[in-house]
Amino acid sequence: MANIVQFENVGLRYGAGDETLSDLSFALTSGAFYFLTGASGAGKTSLLRLLYLAQRPTRGVIRLFGEDAVTMPRKRLPGFRRRIGVVFQDFRLAPHLSAYDNIALPLRIAGVREEDIEQPVHEMLTWVGLSDRIHARPPTLSGGEQQRVAIARAVIGRPEILVADEPTGNVDPAMAERLMHLFDSLNRLGTTVVVATHDIQMIQRTANAQMMRLDRGRLLDPTGALRFPPSERDG
């Protein structure tokens, strides 16, 4: 299968300090499921920010959907970002909008007509088990409910890549299990999933997932070889 993301000698430095990420070279295959793991401060969030185009690297090449994402003109970024779903560690829901409107936001930004929004949003609310909380605003939702709204918002636009930063960090084990099941379902529909976590048990419970380990800004496997190479994934 084709590579959907490719990093070549990527480095990232904030300000004048040491590099947060160094010499990252790897490729993500379209339709695969990846875990990104490492200790706190290893650079997981920084790597994800590069993936969802919130940050440009200091050096190196990033190819996204076959195009150079480093030199890509700024005006082209929104189109690429719409192909990437992001679940933030702190949810980042719009506090003044209901659960329904938060989930509908990507579609509205994409210019989808109002009459074409209602059905997919209701389906998504049902999918994440929040059909009874449709009018609730984020401050009135529990952490787990907010996380599910964030996930629904990230996937409603049928992104080609889903990036999730510690998506189970704020929920109980049962909810974490349920959320991972949601990610797995989405992956089976063809979305490439990248989940940053340090929950080793969760990684072990997820079949066919591949793992990238970061340590102080470097991939522990410098060759880019992953635990389950794509060719062996379904073998």
Partner 1 sequence: MSEEKRPERRLLDAGRATRTMRWVMAIMLFLTVLAAALGLGALAASRALDRQLAGRLTIELVEPNPIARDHDAAQVLAMARGDRNVAAARPVDPARLAKLLQPWLGAIGNDPDLPMPVLIDLDLHDASDLAVAALARRIHAIVPAARLDRHAAWMAPVTGFMNLLLGLAAGIVLLLALATGTVVVLAARAGLETHRDTIEIMHMLGSTDVQVARLFQRRIARDTAIGGAVGGIAALAVTALVGTRLAGLGSALASGATLGPGGWIALAAIPFLFVGLATLAARIAVLRTLGAKL
| Contact set with partner 1 (CB under 8 A) | 52-56, 74-75, 77-79, 81-82, 86, 92, 94-98, 101, 104-106, 108-110, 114, 153, 157
Q: Give the count of beta carbons closer than 10 Å to the beta carbon of residue 177.
A: 13
The least CB distance from residue 178 to partner 1, in Å, is: 24
Q: Give the nearest distance from C-beta 94 to partner 1 in angstroms.
A: 6
- Confirm if 98 and 43 have CB atoms less than 8 A apart: no
Looking at the Cβ atoms of 63 and 82, the one nearer to partner 1 is: 82
Residue pair 164/209 in contact by the 8 Å Cβ criterion:
no
**Which of residues 54 and 61 has its CB atom nearest to partner 1 in the complex?**
54
Give the shortest CB-200-to-partner 1 separation in angstroms.
Answer: 28
Taken in order 212, 215, 217, 223, the sign of the CA dihedral is negative
Give me the least distance between CB of 103 and partner 1, in Å please: 11
Instruction: Please identify, using beta-carbon distances, which residue of 104 and 211 lies nearer to partner 1.
Output: 104
- CB of residue 151 vs partner 1: minimum separation in angstroms? 14
Task: Specify the residue, 78 or 143, whose C-beta has the smaller distance to partner 1.
Answer: 78
Nearer to partner 1, 44 or 202 (CB): 44
Q: Which two tokens stand for residue 156?
A: 């409603």
Alpha-carbon span 169 to 144, nearest angstrom: 10
Residue 223 amino acid letter? T
Contact between 97 and 105 under an 8 Å Cβ cutoff? The reply is: yes
Give 56's strand partners. none
What is the rounded distance in angstroms from the CA atom of residue 186 to the CA atom of residue 208?
Answer: 14
